[in-house]
Amino acid sequence: MAKIDKIKETLNTLRVLLSLTVGLILGLSAKVSDFYDRNIFDIRFYLSIIAINLLIIAILYISVKIKKNTNDIGDE
């Protein structure tokens, strides 16, 4: 397999991972909103908020990797 094909495959995988991460953030945000509406402030509420923040950091990391791989394709 050529190097460019490996980079393209990595890009596709990163894009899928990015989509899944955004979906997880949306789902967790909906659950946090539900907890807030029902005045439930237990460990699940706070763990969900922490998880959302970690997923946002993951999105930033994935975006940097996507940009790097996209630039690598341009260099080929």
6 within domain boundaries: no
12 within domain boundaries: no
Digit-coded pLDDT (tens) for 30-70: 999 999 999 999 999 999 999 999 999 999 999 999 999 99
55 within domain boundaries: yes
13 within domain boundaries: no
Query: Based on the structure, what is the number of domains in the chain?
Result: 1
41 within domain boundaries: yes
Say what the pLDDT of residue 9 is. Answer: 94
Say what the pLDDT of residue 73 is. Answer: 84
**Structural domain containing residue 68:** 18-75
Name the pTM for this structure.
Answer: 0.87
Enumerate long-range contacts of 13-18, CB under 8 Å, 24 or more apart: 14/62, 14/65, 14/66, 14/69, 15/66, 17/62, 18/59, 18/62, 18/63, 18/66
